Amino acid sequence: MKQKFLFKDRDLMAQFKPICLTLFFLLSCTAGIVAQSMTVKGTVTDEKGVTLIGVSILVEGTSTGTTTDLDGTYELKADKGASLQFSYTGFTMQTIVVGDNAKIDVSCSPMSRYWMRLW
Beta-bridge partners for 87:
56
pLDDT of residue 37: 86
CB 40 within 8 A of CB 77: yes
Sketch the domain layout of the chain as residue ranges.
37-118
Residues near 73 by beta carbon (within 8 Å), at least 6 away in sequence: 41, 42, 43, 44, 51
Region 56-64: mean pLDDT is: 94
d(CA 86, CA 58): 7
Region 79-83: mean pLDDT is: 92
Label residue 15 by pLDDT band (50, 70, 90). Answer: low
The pTM (predicted TM-score) of the whole model is 0.66
Does position 118 have pLDDT exceeding 60, yes or no?
no
Label residue 113 by pLDDT band (50, 70, 90). Answer: low
Does position 56 have pLDDT exceeding 80, yes or no?
yes
Residues near 104 by beta carbon (within 8 Å), at least 6 away in sequence: 40, 41, 42, 84, 96, 98
Does position 90 have pLDDT exceeding 60, yes or no?
yes
CATH superfamily of 37-118: Carboxypeptidase-like, regulatory domain (2.60.40.1120)
Name which residue leads in pLDDT, 27 or 41.
Answer: 41
